[in-house]
Amino acid sequence: METATTTTGLAPVFSSEPARWRVTWWLLALLPLFGQTFHYLSTLVPLWALSKALPVISLPGVLRLGGEPRFPMTRQILISFAWLLLVPSFAAVFYFHEGFFTSITAQVKLLPVLYFFSFLALLLTLKPTLGELERGFLVLGVVILAVLIVLWAVVPSDWYQESYVIGQSPFFSADNRGHRIRMSMYFPLILLFFCYRRAFFEKHAGYLFGVVVAFAVTLLIVKTRAMVIGIMGVLLINTFAWSRMRTRVLLLLAAPAALAAMFSAGYLATTFSTDASTGFDTRRITILLATKFLGSEPMRWLFGVGTISSTSKDNLIDYFHHFFFLADITWLGIVFEYGLIGALIILFFQLRGIVFYRRLRKKVDDDFLGALFDYLVYILLISFFYPPTLTPGETAVILAIFAYIWRVGELDSEPDDHADLQVHHASLQAHQAP
């Protein structure tokens, strides 16, 4: 694979040379799979099956890391994965009388955590520049937004399903929110956060238009309340952090009223509703059943009780004689399955990326890396609605990019308080910190 060149005296990963199309096409082909874009789109059977199999298929690529010094975050991710795989699997043997190897299959949803290693190996093979990675993510964001807009415009109403089998989520669905298209917004939201950073600092109408389009598609086509809350949360946090004191005061005064008005209209008004149509009763009863099962035994609360594998003849609904979905009760569901220790491990998996970005930012101040950081914050904000265990590959890919830039950018050779790079737009400027 060809290597990028640079004339700035910096590492090739910071090259401002034109993107290599061969590298770009590889990224465009593989990023949607590593980003779990098709992981829950069972309608697209070949891509769905490939997405499910990719964590195992891509594992041999980890051998590429064999001759490399240990990358940042490696130890934490390995220990975290081993704990989350084995402890709940053992617990399920005792609490649900599952076979050990059967109970391990219940944790296949965590396999994308290993994308940290396989995607990192892919990056070391392709050797993309930071600009090429940025281009890959942003192009995919634009493509997905365009596809959603076209589908929204041309798909007839009778394609939207009002009822479906439990555990399956149709691509086109209709509920109390109206017609909606269920789509992973990993790349479009990173595009949104990137455009917002550029729009805020450059006052550029083009980037602001990108923010508006991405937000409108999320609000009016995808119609996922948690996504809207997460986006608004990230934008408010960033606006507050980047603004002057007077603007911060105005924001504190105006934001509550603006958010209250926004979440009082349309389907957003049902975000915190206790109406039966929102599934509140199911979640409430699930919470009661879960807490009752955990009981007063400290061991259950600390280490979790595992879950019943989808390969078993029974499931949690049969066991509890009621609709019982751990994902519906988010962090309590995580505590139920993995225990408080496991919940902290999952939380620290997200926080490690946030903390490491702070360290990375002291050396490379780049809008794309900042947008990836924003997405980690977004995951934490929506974790009260969607558990981060549903798509851990999203976080793993971001952490792999951080580790890749840190290593191939030769940033570990300087003290952490030495800010030596700032990246803006497609250009790279080196300067010494004061």
> Using 50, 70 and 90 to split pLDDT, how confident is the model at 255?
confident
What is residue 396's predicted lDDT score, i.e. its pLDDT? Answer: 98
The shares of helix, strand and coil residues in the chain, as percent rounded to the nearest 5, are 65, 5, 30
Q: Which residue has the higher pLDDT, 411 or 22?
A: 22
Pair of tokens at residue 191: 């595009």
C-alpha–C-alpha distance, residues 75 and 115, integer Å: 14
Pair of tokens at residue 174: 């209709």
pTM above 0.85, yes or no: yes
Least confident of 195-199, 211-215, 278-282: 278-282
CB-based contact 84:342 (threshold 8 Å)? yes
What is residue 425's predicted lDDT score, i.e. its pLDDT? Answer: 41
Q: State pLDDT tens for residues 77-125.
A: 999 999 999 999 999 999 998 888 888 998 999 999 999 999 999 999 9
Least confident of 46-55, 164-173, 323-332, 355-364: 164-173
Q: State pLDDT tens for residues 22-38.
A: 999 999 999 999 999 99
CB-based contact 283:387 (threshold 8 Å)? no
CB-based contact 94:150 (threshold 8 Å)? no
What is residue 343's predicted lDDT score, i.e. its pLDDT? Answer: 97
Among candidate residues 146, 213, 242, 186, the one with its CA nearest the CA of residue 396: 186
Q: State pLDDT tens for residues 213-232.
A: 999 999 999 999 899 999 99
CA of 216: how far to CAs of 139, 221, 385, in Å? 18, 8, 20
Name the strand (E) or helix (H) holding 286.
helix 280-294
Q: State pLDDT tens for residues 315-351.
A: 888 788 777 888 889 999 999 999 999 999 999 999 9
DSSP letters spanning 131-198: HHHHHHHHHHHHHHHHHHHHHHHHS-GGGSBS---TT---SEEEETTEEEE----HHHHHHHHHHHHH
Residue 3 has pLDDT above 90, yes or no: no
Neighbours of 276 (CB within 10 A): 9
Q: Give the position of tokens 């996922």.
A: 224
State the number of CA atoms in the 13 A half-sphere of 67 facing the CB: 3
Residue 434 has pLDDT above 50, yes or no: no
C-alpha–C-alpha distance, residues 102 and 81, integer Å: 18
Q: Can you give the length of the chain in residues?
A: 434
Neighbours of 150 (CB within 10 A): 10
CB-based contact 125:1 (threshold 8 Å)? yes
> How large a percentage of the chain has pLDDT more than 70?
89
What is residue 429's predicted lDDT score, i.e. its pLDDT? Answer: 38
What is residue 43's predicted lDDT score, i.e. its pLDDT? Answer: 85
**Which residues, including other chains, have CB under 8 Å from residue 89's CB and lie 6 or more apart?**
100, 103, 104, 106, 107, 306
Under DSSP, the state recorded for 266 is G
What is residue 345's predicted lDDT score, i.e. its pLDDT? Answer: 98
Q: Which residue has the higher pLDDT, 42 or 49?
A: 49
User: What is the 3-state secondary structure of 351-395?
Assistant: HHHHHHHHHHHCCEECHHHHHHHHHHHHHHHHCCCCCCCCCHHHH
Average pLDDT value for the chain: 88
Among candidate residues 88, 97, 33, the one with its CA nearest the CA of residue 338: 88
What is residue 7's predicted lDDT score, i.e. its pLDDT? Answer: 47
**Mean local confidence (pLDDT), 305-317:** 85
CA torsion through residues 138, 140, 144, 150, sign: positive
Residue 199 has pLDDT above 70, yes or no: yes
C-alpha–C-alpha distance, residues 209 and 155, integer Å: 25
Under DSSP, the state recorded for 235 is H
Residue 5 has pLDDT above 70, yes or no: no
